Chain A
């Protein structure tokens, strides 16, 4: 186990104020991005030469690519990028105090009834001890089956050949500007390998690893699900994750081999100063089955479109997503399904809720390549507006090169109506509770797919968010 005891001893944010306490290690983070910073990260992680070269090449690509002009408003991002530290050691990140956590966040933890110890972990000021026992026994089970569930750093260290064979094959650095950035400065994340035919009953939860390697700003996850294997990976939680950083750019790569089944569930609730730009993609082999269950709450702007590339005959991809945009928040989310092989099938179900001045955008792509005959895809996106000031847009892109494909798209926008509210309140239910009930009902088709404790927390969170929603 890593050095939790050490972590709690550290001073707060010393990197931020740019002084170093005597006797501290030589590593010192610097603001902004440069080749030197990238070299430092790689050296600090003691990486092989090929990874350093990979990072440096990615940095060049990042610098060469223009800022995206589509999606959300990224005009404030340049300033943020000048000011942030591209690498903060996990122990430094932990070194803040509970007092620094905004009251609003503490209040939400309180209302959600999150246990004290867990609150500190979520706020980045403490380490998780309780889960270690559970984690250990699960870990033994996984090891006996040959499953690897490590931090991404340990994955590279302990399984170098396996790692190198798959790393960056699903999302290469030139894919997009932020994938390039992540490739240059990645730190933290998971490395998962499920051997052929292994079926896991218990989901792999990144939560169990929180104490080892907190999810970084530039987390990188690589998952390989071998032929006929079956697993579920869960990341994040519904309680707001407080981070003093205001930029998060992750890359999640998943390889689902022939006839394997994999589900990736993530619920993220960022503090509302956060730019959250994530690339997550799965390659699915013949007869394979990939599901993304993606919940996005909080943040200032989220741009995230989980993708399934259906590479083998009969592959199936599914994307279920929920987005909630409160005041001054923009959730630009959706999904991408790319049909490359015959008889591939896919489905996207997206539900968004906008409240106050919140804005949610559905942005989706369904692409059917020539030769992917008998492909079938269905997209359903529903938006719910809580107030008159809330906004929603839909950008469904459909590109079909095959005559014999069946692609459906349905979109709906509804507003929480006076009649619905009156109906519920006329039964004695308060206006806020009635609103929360309508919202919960709206996301029910997706929430019922969540693990129970997540669904419960999500429901409670919606209740909190709907307080004061009725004028």
Chain B
């Protein structure tokens, strides 16, 4: 892709706000329109931190570097503004909101995405939600359940994908969407993501995952390996397969060697 990146991350440093050590230690990454990227890495490498920093989680503090989204400073925006600008984060651990139905939650979110002064037509919304749920092969009664309250791991992740389907972001960051899912649930969730990508091939997707198995279902164009807060290697899908064989240890050693040689 030759055009300007949708998302440009340059030398990004970040830490937990009340701690001292940076978790992200100089991340560089360019994502273009219509690309699917995967970031893989061992536990504690900082890949989930990157996802949350992109969405603006208040627990993290950016200590250096820039992130631009459509050429604008993403880090200057509040989380709700980032969402309205087109960024979506599918949570690794979605939170429950007791007493709030999914339909009500989504209606409020869709309303929030409309321009100031414009009111969402409730019938249009209901039609749209029904259509989205059909696409993802979800039972309509699901929309009446309270957000993530008493959901199984699989239901929580499907709920994330439903939100993505409804909000139609230009950039979707999927944070360990495969974690805690059995193989059937993984297949369902991945097929949902694929349908959404087929529907809107302009969308950019960033998959964050520990395991290669997700990439059997969602095929990335680019794979990056993250170790100790930096991207240490980038390439095509073959990298994921190499990782699967070698494990992360080799990469960690590479990184250590690189660090000492500097």
A-B interaction: yes
Question: CB distance A419 to B100 under 8 Å?
Answer: no
A464 cross-chain contacts in B, Cβ below 8 A: none
CA distance A425 to B147 in the complex (A): 14
Q: Is B239 an interface residue (CB 8 A)?
A: no
Residue of B nearest to A431 (CB): B80
Q: Is B170 an interface residue (CB 8 A)?
A: no
A428 cross-chain contacts in B, Cβ below 8 A: 80, 83-84, 109, 112-113, 167
In chain B, positions 145-169 with a C-beta closer than 8 Å to chain A are: 146-147, 163, 167
Q: Is B99 an interface residue (CB 8 A)?
A: yes
Task: State which of A205-213, A214-222, A433-441 sits at the interface with chain B.
Answer: A433-441
CA distance A404 to B35 in the complex (A): 68
Residue of B nearest to A438 (CB): B97
Cβ distance A52 to chain B, nearest Cβ, rounded Å: 51
Residue of A nearest to B52 (CB): A422
Question: CB distance A433 to B112 under 8 Å?
Answer: yes
CA distance A445 to B146 in the complex (A): 12
Question: CB distance B98 to A441 under 8 Å?
Answer: yes
Q: Is A420 an interface residue (CB 8 A)?
A: yes
Question: CB distance B112 to A426 under 8 Å?
Answer: no
In chain A, positions 371-430 with a C-beta closer than 8 Å to chain B are: 417-420, 422-430
Question: CB distance A430 to B80 under 8 Å?
Answer: yes
Which of B59, B84, B88 sits near A418, CB closer than 8 Å? B59
Q: Is B64 an interface residue (CB 8 A)?
A: no
B146 cross-chain contacts in A, Cβ below 8 A: 441
Q: Is A192 an interface residue (CB 8 A)?
A: no
Interface size of B in residues (CB-CB distance below 8 Å): 30
Q: Is A442 an interface residue (CB 8 A)?
A: yes
Question: CB distance A427 to B99 under 8 Å?
Answer: no
Q: Is B34 an interface residue (CB 8 A)?
A: no
CA distance A320 to B238 in the complex (A): 61
A429 cross-chain contacts in B, Cβ below 8 A: 80, 108-109, 112
Question: CB distance A441 to B97 under 8 Å?
Answer: yes
Q: Is B122 an interface residue (CB 8 A)?
A: no
A442 cross-chain contacts in B, Cβ below 8 A: 98-99
CA distance A437 to B105 in the complex (A): 8
B55 cross-chain contacts in A, Cβ below 8 A: 422, 426
Question: CB distance B112 to A420 under 8 Å?
Answer: no
Q: Is A122 an interface residue (CB 8 A)?
A: no
Cβ distance B19 to chain A, nearest Cβ, rounded Å: 16
B167 cross-chain contacts in A, Cβ below 8 A: 427-428
Question: CB distance B58 to A422 under 8 Å?
Answer: yes
B56 cross-chain contacts in A, Cβ below 8 A: 422, 426
Cβ distance B163 to chain A, nearest Cβ, rounded Å: 6
B253 cross-chain contacts in A, Cβ below 8 A: none
Q: Is B95 an interface residue (CB 8 A)?
A: yes
Interface size of A in residues (CB-CB distance below 8 Å): 23
CA distance A299 to B105 in the complex (A): 31
CA distance A417 to B96 in the complex (A): 11
Question: CB distance B79 to A444 under 8 Å?
Answer: no
- Mark contacts of B125-154 with chain A using CB atoms, 8 A cut-off: 1 yes-contact digit, 0 otherwise: 000000000000000000000110000000
Q: Is A443 an interface residue (CB 8 A)?
A: yes
Question: CB distance A426 to B89 under 8 Å?
Answer: yes
Which of B83, B94, B95, B100 sits near A440, CB closer than 8 Å? B100
A437 cross-chain contacts in B, Cβ below 8 A: 97, 100, 104-105, 108
In chain B, positions 74-118 with a C-beta closer than 8 Å to chain A are: 78-80, 82-84, 88-89, 91, 94-95, 97-100, 104-105, 108-109, 112-113
A445 cross-chain contacts in B, Cβ below 8 A: 99
In chain A, positions 303-337 with a C-beta closer than 8 Å to chain B are: none
Cβ distance B141 to chain A, nearest Cβ, rounded Å: 17
CA distance A427 to B104 in the complex (A): 13
Question: CB distance B94 to A430 under 8 Å?
Answer: no
A440 cross-chain contacts in B, Cβ below 8 A: 99-100
Residue of A nearest to B87 (CB): A426
Q: Is B57 an interface residue (CB 8 A)?
A: yes
Residue of B nearest to A436 (CB): B108
B163 cross-chain contacts in A, Cβ below 8 A: 427
CA distance A427 to B95 in the complex (A): 13
CA distance A15 to B79 in the complex (A): 56
CA distance A445 to B56 in the complex (A): 32
Cβ distance B120 to chain A, nearest Cβ, rounded Å: 12
Question: CB distance A430 to B112 under 8 Å?
Answer: yes
B98 cross-chain contacts in A, Cβ below 8 A: 441-442, 444
Residue of A nearest to B112 (CB): A428
CA distance A418 to B97 in the complex (A): 12
Question: CB distance A426 to B105 under 8 Å?
Answer: no
Residue of B nearest to A351 (CB): B99
Question: CB distance B58 to A418 under 8 Å?
Answer: yes
CA distance A441 to B58 in the complex (A): 23
Residue of B nearest to A420 (CB): B95
Question: CB distance B108 to A426 under 8 Å?
Answer: no
A441 cross-chain contacts in B, Cβ below 8 A: 97-100, 146-147
CA distance A426 to B79 in the complex (A): 5
CA distance A422 to B91 in the complex (A): 11
CA distance A426 to B105 in the complex (A): 12
Residue of B nearest to A430 (CB): B80
Cβ distance A95 to chain B, nearest Cβ, rounded Å: 42
Residue of B nearest to A443 (CB): B99
Cβ distance B172 to chain A, nearest Cβ, rounded Å: 12
Question: CB distance A433 to B100 under 8 Å?
Answer: no
Cβ distance B69 to chain A, nearest Cβ, rounded Å: 14
Question: CB distance A420 to B80 under 8 Å?
Answer: no
Residue of A nearest to B149 (CB): A441
CA distance A423 to B163 in the complex (A): 12
In chain B, positions 31-70 with a C-beta closer than 8 Å to chain A are: 55-59
Question: CB distance A427 to B100 under 8 Å?
Answer: no
Question: CB distance B84 to A419 under 8 Å?
Answer: no
CA distance A179 to B147 in the complex (A): 45
Question: CB distance A425 to B99 under 8 Å?
Answer: no
Cβ distance B166 to chain A, nearest Cβ, rounded Å: 9
Residue of A nearest to B80 (CB): A425
Report which residue of A427, A440, A444 has the largest number of chain B beta carbons within 10 angstroms of its beta carbon. A427
Q: List 25 A-B contacts (CB under 8 A).
A: A417-B95, A420-B95, A420-B97, A422-B79, A423-B91, A423-B94, A423-B97, A424-B105, A425-B79, A426-B79, A426-B80, A426-B82, A427-B80, A427-B105, A427-B163, A428-B80, A428-B109, A429-B112, A430-B112, A437-B97, A441-B97, A441-B98, A441-B100, A441-B147, A444-B99
Chain A residues in contact with chain B, CB under 8 A?
417-420, 422-431, 433, 437-438, 440-445
User: Given A423-B97, A427-B167, 12 more contacts at CB 8 Å?
Assistant: A419-B95, A422-B55, A426-B55, A426-B56, A428-B80, A428-B112, A429-B108, A433-B108, A437-B108, A440-B99, A442-B98, A445-B99
